[in-house]
Structure 1
Amino acid sequence: MTVVPTSIAVGVLEDDPATREYLTLLIEETDGFHVAFACERIVDARRAIETTLADICLVDIKLPDGNGLDFIRHFADATGGRSLILTVLGDKASVLLAFEFGASGYLLKDTPPDQIIRDIHALHAGGNPISPQIATHLLGMLSRPDAKATEVANILTPRERDVLLMFSRGLSYRETGSALDISQHTIADHVKAIYSKMSVHSRNEAVFEAVQNGWLDL
């Protein structure tokens, strides 16, 4: 009796139509894979996994209706599946924040197609594939001595923490201002203060440092 291998079900959450089509074709044309769903928005992907089984999901970070990292946790909780970040964002803060949210692997979008397929196989087998540039960030983090977290009360004001919390949810300046009932100009002032106090240079980096130090509960 011949045993037929189970096909690996792969979801795609990517807002760029050309990239989404490229990934869909790559998966469908590879033996042992099939596309479980291919969505542009987080809300559509959430609906898809209610009725469709997926072992793995390829997830972009910046999406029209939020941050792809939020979907990673939902996907794991709802399906037990694993997520592989596929993005153009290669900065240290984005990488570390992705793993903080539960990503199982992290690839840059310039990864060759044959390598993407190998990495999906590796992820399905329990591995944690990462692009070489990403590995450099992680090794640098591991080699850095731990620093004792400073009490947030001595660094950020309650409103600045509110702004960081909104950013951690993927909200824009306008959306953050609306949620907190303050102007975008005031948001910009808070951001400048946050960057200065935390010695960071991006929203992702600020959110990551806040999470690492226990200042934000995601």
Structure 2
Amino acid sequence: MKIKVIIADDNSFIREGMKIILSTYEEFDVIETVNDGLEAVEYCKTHEVDVALLDVRMPNMNGVEATKILSEQTKTKPLILTTFDDDEYILDAVKNGAKGYLLKNNDPERIRDAIKSVYNGNTVMQDVVLDKIKSNLIESKPESKIDTSLFTERELDIMGLIAKGLSNKEISKQLYISEGTIANYITSILGKTGLQHRTQIAIYYLTGRVY
């Protein structure tokens, strides 16, 4: 069964170019391209769509606003395609339930892998995007702090390493514990915080706020 994808971008060159690229992969069925977030939402409400690729800056409704509605009212998984100029929107995208955040200048294979990963229930956060989030949070100097009493020392260690952008494999090497054990700790952290994925853990660790 092919992954049903729509592409929302107000730049017709990017929109149609992305459609051509994704259509070369047998695992995808690009069923629609639309000009803005409002059209994406309306389409996903009336059609079965697995993953929506959303530009951030679009007329009528931007990608962040569309992400919130898609997350709350449809089964479609939103994946944001962003530029460095859009980093001010990324925190809101996280809060609104975006399942992926990629820069537009990625190789087609990277975008293909991201779509497949999001479809399979994972969250994709490109390192440079996470770095942008961290730099913005540091500059904003949020007042609230993480409540360390909620977590074990090992959980705090893992949260700190997630916030640095390390994968489970990299954390495993640094802490000398198995990836399975790390996954169990992450499940515990998610349960205690009510968060949904590791990107939100990173932001929570850095700000003390639950997005």
TM-score, normalised by the number of residues in structure 2: 0.61
Separation in structure 2 between the aligned mates of residue 92 and residue 62 of structure 1, nearest angstrom:
11
Which of 3, 23, 32 is residue 27 of structure 2 equivalent to?
A: 32
Output the amino acid matched with 2:108. P
2:55 and 2:80 in contact (8 A); partners too = yes
Describe how 1:170-181 pairs up with structure 2 within 5 A: none
Q: Which of residues 119, 144, 165 in structure 1 aligns to 2:114?
A: 119
Distance in 1 (CA, whole Å) between partners of 2:58 and 2:138 is 32
Closer/same/farther in 2, CA of residues 143 and 7 from structure 1, 3 Å limit = same
Query: Matched residues, percent identical?
Result: 24
Contact 2:51 2:76 in 1 (8 A): yes
Equivalent residues in 2 for 1:85-96, closer than 5 Å: 85-89=80-84, 92-96=87-91
Mapping for residues 23-102 of structure 1, pairs under 5 Å: 23-89=18-84, 92-102=87-97
**CA distance in structure 2 between the aligned counterparts of 1:133 and 1:7, rounded to whole angstroms:** 30
The alignment partner of 1:107 has SS state of: strand
- 1:161-187 per-position Cα deviation (integer Å, ceiling 9, x unaligned): xxxxxxxxxxxxxxxxxxxxxxxxxxx
CA gap of 1:37–1:142, structure 2 versus 1, over 3 A, is: same
User: What CA distance in whole angstroms lies between the structure 1 residues aligned with 2:87 and 2:135?
Assistant: 10
Answer whether contact 2:55 2:81 (CA < 8 A) is retained.
yes
Between the aligned partners of 2:208 and 2:62, the Cα distance in structure 1 is: 21
8 Å Cα contact 1:90/1:133 also seen in 2: no
CA deviation after TM superposition for structure 1 residue 138, in Å: 4.3
Q: Is the 8 A contact 2:38 2:61 kept in 1?
A: no
Compared CA separation, residues 143 and 61, structure 1 to 2 (3 A)? closer
- Aligned residue in 2 for 1:133: 128
User: Which residue, out of 130, 138, 148, partners 2:144?
Assistant: 148
Q: In the aligned structure 1, how far is the partner of 2:93 from the partner of 2:130?
A: 13
Deviation at 1:45, TM superposition (A): 2.0
Larger deviation: 87-96 or 68-77?
87-96
Range with greater deviation from structure 2 (72-81 or 25-34): 72-81
Q: Secondary structure at the match of 1:64?
A: coil
Q: 1:148 corresponds to which letter in structure 2?
A: S
- Structure 2 residue identity aligned to 1:88: T
Deviation at 1:25, TM superposition (A): 1.2
SS in structure 1 at match of 2:106: coil
Q: CA RMSD in A?
A: 2.9
CA contact (8 A) 2:37 2:60 kept: yes
Amino acid in structure 2 at the alignment position of 1:147: E
Aligned equivalent of 1:202: none
CA 1:61/1:142 → structure 2, altered by over 3 Å: closer, same or farther? closer
Q: Could you say which structure has the larger radius of gyration? A: 1
How many residue pairs get matched?
148
Tell me how far apart the structure 2 counterparts of residues 65 and 109 of structure 1 sit (CA, whole Å).
21
Whole-Å separation in 1 of the counterparts to 2:70 and 2:10: 17
Shift of 1:142: 8.3
Give ranges in structure 2 of 5+ residues lacking alignment: 146-206
Contact 1:111 1:131 in 2 (8 A): no
From the superposition, tell whether residues 86 and 73 of structure 1 become closer, same or farther in structure 2 (CA, over 3 Å). same
Q: Which amino acid letter does the alignment assign opposite residue 60 of structure 1?
A: D
Tell me the amino acid that sits aligned with residue 85 of structure 1: I
2:23/2:29 contact within 8 Å kept: yes
- How far off its partner does 1:79 sit? 2.0
Contact 1:90 1:134 in 2 (8 A): no
Other structure's SS at 1:84 match: strand
